[in-house]
Amino acid sequence: MTAPATRLTEEHTEYDVLVVGGGPAGLSAALNLGRSLARVLVVDADRPRNAATLRSHGFLTRDGIPPQELRRLAREELAAYPDVEVRSRTRVFALRRQGDGFAADIGRRETEATVSARAVLLASGLRESLPAVPNLRGFYGMSLFSCAACDAWELQGRRLALIGETPDIADRARLIGRWTESLTVFTHGADVVTASEEEELAAAGIAVRRQPILELRGDRGRLEEIGLVDGTAVSVDGGFVRPEWESTLSFLDGIAPSLDDSGHLLTDGSGRTDVPGLYAAGDAAAPGPQQLIVAAGAGARAAAVIVHDSIGVATAH
Ligand X SMILES: Cc1cc2nc3c(=O)[nH]c(=O)nc-3n(C[C@H](O)[C@H](O)[C@H](O)COP(=O)(O)OP(=O)(O)OC[C@H]3O[C@@H](n4cnc5c(N)ncnc54)[C@H](O)[C@@H]3O)c2cc1C
- With CA atoms as reference, report the closest residue to 241 among 162, 151, 187: 162
184 in contact with ligand X (CB under 6 A): no
52 in contact with ligand X (CB under 6 A): yes
146 in contact with ligand X (CB under 6 A): yes
**Would you say 212 or 263 has its CB closer to ligand X?**
263
Shortest CB 125 distance to ligand X, Å: 3
Pattern 274-293, binding to ligand X, x per CB under 6 A? --------xxx----xxxxx
Three-class DSSP category at 98:
strand
The Cα-based distances of 165 to 169, 215, 223 in angstroms read 7, 16, 19
49 in contact with ligand X (CB under 6 A): yes
48 in contact with ligand X (CB under 6 A): yes
Q: How many residues bind ligand X (CB under 6 A)?
A: 43
Among 16, 17, 18, 22, binds ligand X (CB under 6 A): 22
d(CA 135, CA 211): 17
Shortest CB 52 distance to ligand X, Å: 5
Shortest CB 3 distance to ligand X, Å: 28
Cα 40-25-306 angle, rounded to 5 deg: 50
Q: What angle do the packed helices 195-203 and 169-176 form, to 10 degrees?
A: 0
Site for ligand X, residues 106 to 135, rule: CB under 6 A: 123-125
Cα 270-273-274 angle, rounded to 5 deg: 130
**Would you say 91 or 209 has its CB closer to ligand X?**
91
- Which segments of 79-194 does DSSP mark as H helices, in order? 148-155, 169-176
Please provide residue 222's backbone torsions phi and psi, each rounded to the nearest 5 degrees: -95, 110
The site for ligand X (CB under 6 A) is made up of 20-26, 43-50, 52-53, 56-59, 91-92, 123-125, 141, 145-147, 150-151, 248, 251, 282-284, 289-293, 295
